[in-house]
Every structure is written in C-alpha cells, then in structure tokens.
Structure 1
Amino acid sequence: MPAEVMTAPHLLHPPTLHRPIKSIYYTPRLSLGLIRGLDGQLESFSQTVESELMMKNKMKEDDFESRSGSDNVEGGSCEDQDTDPPRKKRYHRHTPRQIQEMEMLFNECPHPDDKQRQELSRELGLEPRQVKFWFQNRRTQLKTQQERSENTMLRMENEKLRIENITMREAIKNVCCPACGGPATLGEMTFDEQQLRIENAGLKEELDRVSILAAKYLGRPVTSLENHQHHPASSSLDQPVNANFASHSMDATTRLVPTVANSGMRSGGFTDAEKPLVAELAVAAMDELWHMCQPEETAWVLCIDGSREVLDYEQYIKNYRQSLGPRPYGLKTEATREIGVVMMTAVNLVENLLDAAMWMELFPSIISRAFTDDVLSTGVVGNRNGSLQLMYAELQLLSPLVPTRELYFLRYCKQHAEGLWAVVDVSIDILRDNLPCSQMRCRRRPSGYLIQAMPNGYSKVTIVEHMEYDDRAVNHMYQLLVNSGMAFGAQRWLTNLQCQCERLTSLHATKISAIDLGAIPTASGRRSMLKLAQRMSSNYCAGVSASTMHTWTTLSGTGKDDVRIMTRKSENSPGEPHGIVLSAATSLWLPVSPQRVFQFLRDERVRSEWDILSNGGMVQEMAHIAKGQDPGNSVSLLKVNALNSSSSNMLILQESSTDVSGSLVVYAPVDIPAMNAVMHGGEPDGVSLLPSGFAILPDGTSRLPLQHERVRVDSCGTGGSLLTVAFQILVSNTPSAKLSLESVATVNSLISCTVQKIKSALQCEII
C-alpha cells in the first residue's frame, strides 16, 4: 500500500461512520490521479465498511460494548488496559486479508504470545498493539456469542419446565387424599388445617367402625347414629314398645336430621367461606334446568313405547360436561321430563314449593318427611325471586320393600319473566368431595319446575327429575318399576300434582249444587269430610314405606309375600287413638292390570268378598264426594249392614285416588256420632282414625309368567300389578303395655287372609 495512503488517517478513518462512503470522492486534498490509483482498494474498502456497519448496528442493539473483528480501538481493551491517560479513540480499519490471517491464527491459538503477535504484525503491516487488541476483542466477541447462545437455550428449557409445571398443577388440582378427603398436596395447606384433616380422617374411621358394630347387633344398616342413640331397636316382640318412637303426626320440623355420615352435610347451614360456592352451584343448576326444559333440547328422546321422554346420557354429557362432575361409581342414572297443566296459579304453586309443610301436602304419597334446614336468601321483598334455601327430604314408594331416598339439597327460585318462574333443586353433596361413595345412596342433579302462568288461572308446568341412585337394596319385585323411572320420575310427580290441585280446587269450592252435596247437609260439612279424608290418606302413606323412622320386623312367610310388622306408641297424638298401634304390611305381584285391581277394591258392592271386618254384611254408600275429573278420585262414607241385627252398624270413611303412576284405596272405621258432627260442618281434627288400605302400582313391564307357572291372563291388560296391603290396629289402650304374640298372630292371620281373598276374587292364583 502506498505510503501516502497509510499516512492519511482522514481517508481510512472518516470522522463520522454513518456518513455515506461516496462523500470521500469530494475531499479536496486528493488529486484525481491518486483517486484513480486507489479505485480498486476503495471498492473493497467500501464493501468492508458497509459490512462492518451492519455488524456494529447489530452489536449496538444487544448493548455489546466491544467492536467488530475488523475494528481495533486504540487506548483500551477488555483484558489489559495501559496506564496511559485517556485520549481520543481512533478506529483502525483492517483489510480482508488482515482479518483472514488473524482469524486463521485465532482458530489455532486464541491467546498468542508476544513473539507470535510481533511476527503477525510484521506480516500484516500492523502494530503489535493493534494485533493484541484485535485478539482481545475477538475473544470477547466469541465469549458473548456463546453466552447469548447458552442464554437462549436456558430460556427455552425454562419455558418448557414452566409449561410442564403448570400442566402438573392442573392435573393434581382435583386429586384428593383417600384417607382424609383433602388435597393431596399438603404443602399448600397450613399446619392447623393439616392436623384438622388428619383428625377428621380418624373420626371417620371410628364412625365407620361404630356403624358396622351397631349394624351387626341391630340387624340392619345404621343410617343415623342419633336415631339409635335415642330410639334403640327391639328385636323381641315381648319387649315394651319404644316410648320415643316418632308418631306420624309429628311436625316435620321437629323430626330427626340425618347425620354427616349419611348426607355429607351437617345441620345448621353453611359457613361464610362456603356460601359463594353454594350460590355458584345454585346459579349453575338453574341454568341447566332452564335449558333442559326447552323443547329443542337434544338430550331428551322418547322411550321405546313413546309414552314419555327419557335422557340420552351421552348427549347430556356433551351438552353439560362441566356441570356437576361425573356420576359416582355404583350409582345409576334416572332422568325424565313431563309437561302438563295444573289447576293452580303460578304464584301459589311457587309458594307451595318453597314451604316444606305445604310441599309435603302437595305430594303425600311421594314425600314422607321434609323440612327447611337453612334459609340463605328470602328473595325480593314481597316476591320469591332469588329465594335460596337448604332443605331435607325423604322420598318414598308405598311399599316396605323399597328403601326411601334421603336428600339434602338446595332449592333456588328465579323469575325469568312476567308470569314465568323456575324452581330448581340440586344436591349439596356435590360440594362435599370427601363424602365416601359407599355412603352415597342417591343424589339429585339439577331438577325442578318451570312454571308458566296461563290466563285462566291455571299453570303450564314442565317437570324435570334427574337423579343418581343405588338400587341394590330394592327388592327384586320392584327393580323393573324403579329402574324404568316410573317410581320416582317426573311422570309421577306431575300426575300427583295434578290430582292434588284438583282436590284443593274441590275443597275450596264455594258454589256447590244440591246434587253434588247429596246426603251431606252443608257445604261446610263437605269441606270437613275432605279434610278428614286427606289426613287419613296422609297418615296411611307415612306409615307404609321403608322410612328411616320405621323399624319393620319380618315375620315368617312363604318368601314371596312376607308380612312385615311395626309397632309404635300413640300418646297425646291428635287424630289417633291412645295406646299401642300395630302396623302390618305385605307386598305382592298380581298378574292383573292395576286399573282392574283398583276398580275391584274401591267398589263397595263387592267389598264383602275381601273385607273380613264387614263380616259378610252388605256395604252401602251413604255419601259421595267427587274430588277430580276421574270418577275414581272420590271420598265415600260407607255403612256396613251387619247380618246379625243385634250388632251395631259400622261406618267406614274411604278415599280413592288414581292416575297413570298408581292408585290408592284408603279406609278407616269411624265413630258414628263424631262422623255426624263432621258432616254438619264440625272440625275433623278430633276424630280418631287408624287408616288401612291398598297401594296399587304398575310392575314396570308386561311381565310374562315363568315356564313352571300357570296363571289366568288378565283380559284388561298385559301388565301386572304390585299390590301393597297395610293394616293399622290398636292392640292396647295402655301405652306402657307389652305387645303379645297373640296380637302378632292375629294381625298376621288378618292380612294373610285378606290377600288370599283378593287373589281368589281376581282369579289370579298361581297353581
């Protein structure tokens, strides 16, 4: 390179790096010949400067203090610094050949000694100081690149671990400890909470152990320790009758509350921490009920016979996957929907549903016990919109062979529009993840009523009943009926509601014609008879089921129609005689249609064929009250004309009810003077009754006889009937008396003889 070029720093080191390189051609100091001689070198120099500028811009973005491998800054380096005073930095540009030679040596020896630097500086025409700085800057640049690469890899690895951590946290969020029911990650809980959960697990184990021992000695499962502590069961019929046995007339709010082991929820309501979850559950249940009541909901399909709607469970899971969690292991699903019109205004119907006592009166054959445990919200002032309460209910089928279904649930009411209401029920055990599946017998998914007011004072009601239940304790005779959804399904709720609304309409009727009154003197007397019949039927329904309040004892029998008995003390109970009451019941299957069995049992003209108490005398209907559109829904006062004229005549109050879900025929002997007072408008509360009767249910299918059976086929239908016969008899006027074996033998003979007479009259004995 010419000497003048090497000594012209303003050519190789322009004062401003960002000035366009073409401005060098306008420097007035240079001659035209010199510029032409350096044309080739300037072209390569221009390319070098442009590449170095790009590299410098990139390094500035990364906040990198060192310079490019083609830059050499005099006066400082990253490794060694001279002690010379600060001076202005000068930038030396290296040619591509210089860079290439130094790069080759760097690849072989990144740290050259003084001798190697001296030799390289002579070959390249550079000062040893420039070579030294170049190697220092190159090492710094390489180190920075390696650190940047390592940082990038570490960032990627850290992001990967973070994603895996989030995934694992989500996966274990719902994992529960099998011992205490709490979260598996104890590190997220305080020490006190850990100790409480451990103590809770120990108490649960102790409770299970005590329950097993109690069941072993009592001979039946223990559903409530409180029941057995205050009401010990008796396996001997010669022992005194339990003085504390709850009577059927006990107020619902004073009855026993199931314990935590049975329901998963303590009595007394929720804590402040639980109430937001409760509100969220109620809102979610209301949203699901609203969609399930819509006609276009795809989760509903018609059953095979086309008689009712049932749930397509797979479609339901798709539509409501996040609703309330999966179905517990061992439970079956029962979901039905029915739509109908009832004779009651929408506002009155909502009020009846939100009052536990009135709700029981609407469904006496379905609800054996019910009460409100806690009121979380009363709704808007003067309106039930927003009402939220915690309730308990025990649902029954009228037979001692079918266990009742106990439920703790939220009942939430919402007004969606003018004249459009919805009332939803949902079990609260969904909030209790620590409830063992072995103690969960049933739970209610969002179920309830969509009530739309009609101009004529009636209401259009859509009922959805969705329940998960355990049927292992159900007698095989009732398995088909229960699993078909007819026992506790929406159809039974709707038909019972329609019949009861018709009854209430008849009860509160003000304009009664003389023809409708018949032998009843006044309209007030008609109303009193209806009230007395209602109490009689309610007492019958309350005493015939397998409620947790009852302790049935099975007597020896054939195994197909065993008689079960139960004793209770009636003391200071209004409407019942004073003393010891013995209840006896049996259930059997008949190859006769339910309608035919009902017509036979309610017909007073053939009563002597099965009623032993009539002693073969003729039975005459003295008064008749229609309480619905169906002729079978009525109240009658019957008179038995004894064959022996010296015997006093007897009056029988009888009520019959029927719908597609089942039928009832309930009756009781009544005192003649007391009945005369009732027919003239007297209060019926003082009349003592011990009801007996029949509950008639369809068998759930058109059962065919077995190969070894020969039966007469019912010409009125192909389906059979499930008949429950129940009697209540006063065996002693002294509450402290003991129950004798003679009394047991008498009632056993009475009920067995009645069953045989019914079979003979219907010509359905199995040969």
Structure 2
Amino acid sequence: MALSMHKESNKQMDSSKYVRYTPEQVDALERVYTECPKPSSLRRQQLIRECPILCNIEPKQIKVWFQNRRCREKQRKEASRLQTVNRKLSAMNKLLMEENDRLQKQVSHLVYENGYMHQQLQHVSTATTDTSCDSVVMSGQHQQQNPTPQHQQRDANNPAGLLAIAEETLAEFLSKATGTAVDWVQMIGMKPGPDSIGIIAVSRNCSGVAARACGLVSLEPTKVAEILKDRPSWFRDCRCHDVLSVIPTGNGGTIELIYMQTYAPTTLASARDFWTVRYTTTLEDGSLVICERSLTSSTGGPTGPPSSCFVRAEMLPSGYLIRPCEGGGSIIHIVDHIDMDVWSVPEILRPLYESSKILAQKMTIASLRHIRQIAQESSGEIQYGSGRQPAVLRTFSQRLCRGFNDAVNGFVDDGWSIMGSDGVDDVTIAINSSPGKFLGSHYNTLSVLPTIDGVLCAKASMLLQNVPPALLVRFLREHRSEWADYGVDAYSAASLKASPYAIPCARPVGFPSSQVILPLAHTVEHEESLEVVRLEGHAFSPEDIALSRDMYLLQLCSGLDENAVGACAQLVFAPIDETFADDAPLLPSGFRVIPLDPKSDSPTATRTLDLASTLEVGPGGARPSGEADISYNLRSVLTIAFQFTFENHFRDDVAAMARQYVRSVVGSVQRVAMAIAPSRLSSQMGPKSLPGSPEALTLAQWICRGYRIHTGGELPRVNSQASDGILKQLWHHSDAIMCCSVKTNVSPVFTFANQAGLDMLETTLVALQDIMLDKILDEVGRKILLSEFSKIMQQGFGYLPAGTCVSSMGRPVSYEQAIAWKVLNDDDSSHCLAFMFINWSFV
C-alpha cells in the first residue's frame, strides 16, 4: 500500500514538472506576454481565473513558462546581435583585405619606380654628355605619378561626347578609390573596426586636396546613393545644388549637369562654385557608382553658368563606389578630390584650402557620418526624448548652419548690402532689407512676427595662435556670461515676438544670468549636438521688468573633440520661444573656429598674430630658448557673426549697438584666448619670464613679511635674503600663492599669482584681474571663508580646511589645506589678502 502511494506521488510530480501546452493555451499566454513579459503572482492567478483553458495549470507552471519565454526572447536577441556583429566583421575583413591588396600594389608600384629611377641615374652617370637625360627622367616620373589623359575636342551639344567624359571620369575615380592613382596616408586617430566610422585617408603630394573613406552601413546601395546625391542634406557648406540637365545613357545610367555653390568659411575669403558632370551607373559586379568631375576647357563639354561673386573651383574625378554586402547593407568607398584655387585667397588663409584634413572632415567624413546616422535612426537604435522626429531635428541643425553661413557670406542676391563704417574697419555691418526671404519664404506675410523692416548682421574675423578651437568653443558654450550681454540677448529674443522689447543700444555692463542646457539630439559619434539653452532671468528695476523673464536659445555645438584632426569647432544659436514649432523662424548668430595647418618650414612667420605674445615674449621680443616647438604654430581663424532685426527708425541705433557688442565680444574672446594658450601649452613652453618690475619685487617682500609677522615663521621654501631671490622663489613655489584686493562693498579680485597659482586658475597675469575670489570657491569654501574672515582680519591669518575650488575654465581643483594672511605694506597697513593653496591638483 505504501509502495503504491509512493508511485502515485512520483507520477503526480512528473506530471507537474513536464507540462504539454495546447496551441490555444500557448496563444493565450503569448497574448499576455506581449502586454506584460513579467506578470506578478496576482496577475498569474487572475489569468487562470479569467481564461478557462488554463484552469488545469498550476500558477507555478505558468511562472516557469514566462521565465522560459523571457529566456528564449533574450537568446533570440543575442543570436540576432551576434549575427549582425559577424556580418560586420566579415564585411570589415573583406574591406581590410582589399585595402591590403591596394597597399601591396602601391608598394609594387613604388618599387618599380625606384628601380626605374635607379636605372635612369646610372644611365645619366655613364652618358653625361646627353643633357636631355634629366628632363627625360623627370618627365617620365611625372607622367607615371600624375597621368594626364589627352582629351580630344568634343561637341558640347553631343551626348556621346558627354558620355566619353563620363567614362573617363569613371576610370579615373575607380583608380583613386581602389587603385594607386593617389598616394593615400591614413588620418591620425581613424582606426578601422566594426564600430568605427571606417578607414579614412588623405592625399599626399598630389594636385589639389583629396580625401578617401571606406566604411560599412546597414542601408541598401540604392538608398545610400539617394542620400549621397542629396548633397545639401549633409554638406553644410553647400549653398545650392542645381541639376540643370539629365541625360539617360544606353547602359541604364544617367549623366547630370550640375551647378553648385559653396559658402566661404570666413569673411576673409570668397565663396566657391563648381560646374560638374555627374555620372551614375552600375558595374558588372552589381556595384553602384556615382562619379563626378568639373567641366573645363581642357575636358570639353558645355560651358557652365557665369559666376561674378564666386571663384570657380575645380572638382577632379571624385565619387562614390557602393557595393552590396552579403546579408544586407553596403560597403562604401568615397573619394573627394578638389582644387580650390588657393592663389585667390590671402597667403595666411591658404591652409584652409590646402589641407586635405579639412576637406576630409567637411565632406568625406561628413557624408559617411550622415549615412550612418540615418541608418541607425531607421533601425530604431537612436531614440530621442524630445518628442520630435529625427528628420525635424536634422532640419533644425541644417537651418542653423545655413543661416549662419548666409550671415557670414552676405550674398548680394540674398538682399545683403554693406553699411558704412564708423572709421574703424574691425567690424563689418551688413543689412538685409528682405527679412521675409531671409527668414523663410513661408514667413513672407510676417503674420506671426512683429513689425520687422530688415535684418542687420555685425561680423568680424580674427586670427588666433596657440588656442585649440575645441577648447575655445567649449569655454564659450559653458561660460556664456563671460562674453554675452543679457540686455542684447533680451533684445534678440523679444524681436521675434508680437510685443518686442526695444533696446536700441547695448548696456555698458552685462546683467548676470545663469544658463541651463537641455539636450535635444546628438549625432552617432557625439561630434555635433543640438540643444536648447534656457537663460534664467532675474529681478530688475520696474523699467527693466522685461529682462526678468527666461529666454530660450536653440543652439548647435560641433567640433568639441580636441583629438579630431582638421575639425572645425562651431557654436551657433538662435532665439526661440519656449514652445517653438518645427517651422519656427530662426535668426542664427555664433562663432566658428577653423584650424590652420602649421607651416613647419617657417615657425616664426606669424609672430604678430599671437594674441598671448605679450605674456610669453622675453626682453626684446625674443622667445626663450627651446620654444621652437610646433605647438607655437597652432593657428586658427575665428569668425563671429551676430544678427539682429530692426525697424527703419531704429536702424542706426541697432547698428551702433551691434558694432559695440561685437567689439566687446571680440575683446572677451581675446582675454579667453590669452587665458587658454599658456595653460594648454605649458608643457612645451619651458620656464616663463618673471614679472620683474619694481612693484612685483616690493609685493614679494610684503607677502613674505606679512606671513612672518602674523604666523611667526618664514614662508616655506622661501628663505633668501635678497629681494630678487625672494621673487624668484615665490614665483617658482610649488604651492599656489595668490593675492586679492580687500575693499569695502567690492568683491575681492585677484591682483597677483605665482606660476603655480596661474596654472591652478588656468589663466594669465593679464587675465587674472578679471577673476573674483568668490567665483573660484565652491559653496562650502565660500561659507568657510565667510565664517573665518573676521578672524583672519583680526589676528592676521587663518587656516582653511581641505576643499575644492574651480578654475577659470570650470575644472575642479582640490587642495589639502589653505592659508590666508594679511599682506602689510611698509606702513604696516593692510595692502591685500594672500592665499596659499597647499598640494593642489586637478580632480
């Protein structure tokens, strides 16, 4: 009897462990799983009660089913992910093998050239009487490196002639994309891999500038071709791209005649335009090719439109090779090869048009990043929390860039005209009397805008030295209050509202305000971000009540990666309403900083452009020894443009305000540049010259004397009796020593700091006077100093515990202890307050 009961118990256990579900039961459970993959115990019991077909199943068994179902879903997703990674690795492996084959061909070609040159040199040495040998060698080498096809005269109106040009363009493009027609050098920092943007290379020793990219995307070739053909969607410097004629070819391809205009990157140069033929066809292996080149007198073909305000540049054979990838997706080869006619720009700006790295960032890498961005958006990998579609956010970025470029260039056919100067040509004022056209064609009625008679732009360009563009733009973004005027911001924001608050002139002092940055979107590699900036208003007098409200800016920030070679750093913003529509009018202003490639052959050619030269030069203007480092040739061009709306009766007032405001912004940027340059390049500078004026020697004596009187001891590691020795030891002291003024009802301002103090504050002696003590101390430090201040002033010194302060660049700095003491002059009266931060370091 007991044995029978035991067998029955085992049978029941087996039946409870292994349950076979009917199709109807599985469907019911799947429906619940779709709504809630992990139901609670109460939900499972409710499911059994509400679904009769599940009444014979225990709640524990249903719990196990859901666990298994979640496990299967996780395994399925992991398997799908691994398959995707495997496809990427396989495609990348194929791409790297092809790149290896191309490099081997290039090596073979160089070996052949080397042997040929060796043979010719031997021939020259044995036949010195033949004076034509040198020319034969050089001409033969030139023909091998830069083969120039001889174009026969073609009929401009004959499609067969255009097809011949297109076929030659195709052959030359493929030789650059997959062959050895150009000597390619891989860009620094661009490493291939399944998650990288691709293989990026730039040209070396070729006519014009060229860049090449190979990469993988998850879009089909036809979709990739459609995106790449829409050049204005990804090429931010493209002003217009007009297809003037389309001619079908017998092989199923198309030939297009295209006129393109591009913006000038700065006010110091002219814009470019191109007249090209574009050929789209399919190769025998199924690859899709889009190649393009300029039509010139040497190539033949139709004559392009005349260009009065543009410099005609030449596009050498360039294009896109798009190959289908096994398992979906595409492998893309991109080649951009352009001759920008560098002789038409000032010599100092020629690096902008001679740099293959800048071309790679602006065109080659930009197109590949744009395709990857759309691919990830299409697959749902990118989710934005703003509630707006990705295409709308991309349009905002494009409109900000286009509006800023229009302001910088000021084309006559857009309605711009130059206003007379005030006798100083540092700031250019341009006026556009067609605000409807400028803000957008759908605002021609101006029904949603206040009365606007025109748009005014104040712009300026300047050359910077030893200022990293990314660092400068990051500072301008994070420390808006250091350069912006709150009253001008209020005028710009109110000008697009129904009841504008007129401020016809800038205030002499900017109002304090704080900003909150709200991210909207960013690109895949975070090289560009779109954000909303809220400028928080403050309480003012009744006549300034309009300034107390919050204001909003739509802001585009790009190029903040200091390691990106040749990347342009940019900060563009436009005032908006709190709830701005997708088609809201935008009037962009901002900054653009473009790096100039250093000239290694003339390291001191641009000494006069150094904004921080007054800090770093020694006696007679000569730099200390050891400063011939290439870092001193880190040059860049900064372009500033601010736009304002105006009414006709306020035009002159707004122009005066804009000119004054831009000049104040330029001055602020110069101070920032001087603060940035020494701190970033201190490792290459070597020892800095001491501030050897009599006032500095006297102040050094007073600092040491005050410390000795109040504390009863000598300042650590300063024990020299000679006055100049005291200054030297104080200047090179390892702890940060600085002095600040102590005046009634005035915030303490720094007046002196030794080298360690300047490094800690990340500033210079010139910019030191703009830094206030309460700005570098955090909230805890300010409270401690406030509680100890009376004690310090009574007994002459005080000790502050370990804490954290903030440099002028916003970086946190920790210190183990701080000592504060009164500095006494020769009359034993208080001159200033000295601080010494012991064992400080950046967090």
* Displacement of 1:581: 1.0
Secondary structure in 2 matching 1:431: coil
Residues 463, 490 of structure 1: 8 Å contact kept: no
* Displacement of 1:596: 0.9
Query: Residues of 2 paired with 1:280 and 1:662: CA distance?
Result: 38
Residues 185, 203 of structure 2: 8 Å contact kept: yes
Query: Residues of 2 paired with 1:436 and 1:524: CA distance?
Result: 40
Query: Residues of 1 paired with 2:348 and 2:422: CA distance?
Result: 16
Residues 566, 582 of structure 1: 8 Å contact kept: yes
Partner of 1:726 in structure 2? 641
Residues 507, 527 of structure 1: 8 Å contact kept: no
Residues 453, 460 of structure 1: 8 Å contact kept: yes
- Pair 739,717 (structure 1): closer, same or farther in 2 beyond 3 Å: farther
Q: Deviations over 1:127-154 (max 9, x none)?
A: xxxxxxxxxxxxxxxxxxxxxxxxxxxx
Query: Residues of 1 paired with 2:182 and 2:630: CA distance?
Result: 35
* Displacement of 1:411: 0.6
Query: Residues of 2 paired with 1:565 and 1:596: CA distance?
Result: 30
Decide which of 241, 261, 274 is 1:370's aligned counterpart: 241
Equivalences for residues 237-256 of structure 1 within 5 A? none
Partner of 1:278 in structure 2? 162
Q: Does residue 586 of the first structure (1) align with residue 460 of the second (2)?
A: yes
Partner of 1:461 in structure 2? 332
Query: Residues of 2 paired with 1:622 and 1:509: CA distance?
Result: 28
Partner of 1:567 in structure 2? 432
Secondary structure in 1 matching 2:178: coil
Decide which of 637, 646, 654 is 2:555's aligned counterpart: 654
Partner of 1:93 in structure 2? none
* Displacement of 1:376: 0.9
Equivalences for residues 253-402 of structure 1 within 5 A? 273-295=157-179, 297-302=180-185, 308-313=201-206, 333-341=207-215, 343=217, 345=219, 346-354=221-229, 358-363=230-235, 365-377=236-248, 386-402=253-269
Q: CA RMSD in A?
A: 4.1
Q: Does residue 553 of the first structure (1) align with residue 393 of the second (2)?
A: no
Secondary structure in 1 matching 2:208: strand
Residue type of the partner of 1:462? H
* Displacement of 1:281: 0.6
Secondary structure in 1 matching 2:657: helix
* Displacement of 1:394: 0.9
Partner of 1:143 in structure 2? none
Secondary structure in 1 matching 2:353: helix
- Unmatched 5+ residue regions in structure 2? 1-151, 190-199, 444-448, 490-509, 617-626, 678-765, 767-843
* Displacement of 1:599: 1.6
Residues 402, 546 of structure 1: 8 Å contact kept: no
Query: Residues of 1 paired with 2:471 and 2:573: CA distance?
Result: 19
Query: Residues of 1 paired with 2:423 and 2:324: CA distance?
Result: 53
TM-score (norm 2): 0.47
Partner of 2:589 in structure 1? 692
Partner of 1:474 in structure 2? 345
Residues 560, 588 of structure 1: 8 Å contact kept: no
Query: Residues of 2 paired with 1:452 and 1:717: CA distance?
Result: 42
Partner of 1:445 in structure 2? 316
Query: Residues of 2 paired with 1:309 and 1:366: CA distance?
Result: 20
Decide which of 275, 282, 286 is 1:415's aligned counterpart: 282
Question: What is the percent sequence identity of the aligned residues?
Answer: 19
Query: Residues of 1 paired with 2:342 and 2:463: CA distance?
Result: 19
- Pair 374,730 (structure 1): closer, same or farther in 2 beyond 3 Å: same
* Displacement of 1:461: 3.2
- Pair 557,589 (structure 1): closer, same or farther in 2 beyond 3 Å: farther
Query: Residues of 2 paired with 1:438 and 1:690: CA distance?
Result: 27
Secondary structure in 2 matching 1:763: helix
Secondary structure in 2 matching 1:524: coil
Residue type of the partner of 1:643? H
* Displacement of 1:670: 0.6
Q: Does residue 541 of the first structure (1) align with residue 443 of the second (2)?
A: no
Residue type of the partner of 2:534? K
- Unmatched 5+ residue regions in structure 1? 1-182, 185-269, 314-332, 679-683
Secondary structure in 1 matching 2:350: helix
Query: Residues of 2 paired with 1:494 and 1:666: CA distance?
Result: 22
Residues 445, 466 of structure 1: 8 Å contact kept: yes
Q: Aligned pair count?
A: 450
Residues 616, 642 of structure 1: 8 Å contact kept: no
* Displacement of 1:640: 0.7
Query: Residues of 2 paired with 1:456 and 1:399: CA distance?
Result: 45
Equivalences for residues 591-630 of structure 1 within 5 A? 591=465, 592-603=467-478, 606-613=479-486, 615-621=510-516, 623-630=518-525
Query: Residues of 2 paired with 1:585 and 1:449: CA distance?
Result: 37
* Displacement of 1:303: 9.1
- Pair 453,762 (structure 1): closer, same or farther in 2 beyond 3 Å: farther
Query: Residues of 1 paired with 2:422 and 2:377: CA distance?
Result: 43
Residue type of the partner of 1:545? N
Residue type of the partner of 2:587? L
Query: Residues of 2 paired with 1:436 and 1:538: CA distance?
Result: 23
Residues 403, 546 of structure 1: 8 Å contact kept: no
Secondary structure in 2 matching 1:540: helix
Residue type of the partner of 1:372? V
- Pair 498,302 (structure 1): closer, same or farther in 2 beyond 3 Å: closer
* Displacement of 1:563: 2.8
Residues 404, 548 of structure 1: 8 Å contact kept: no
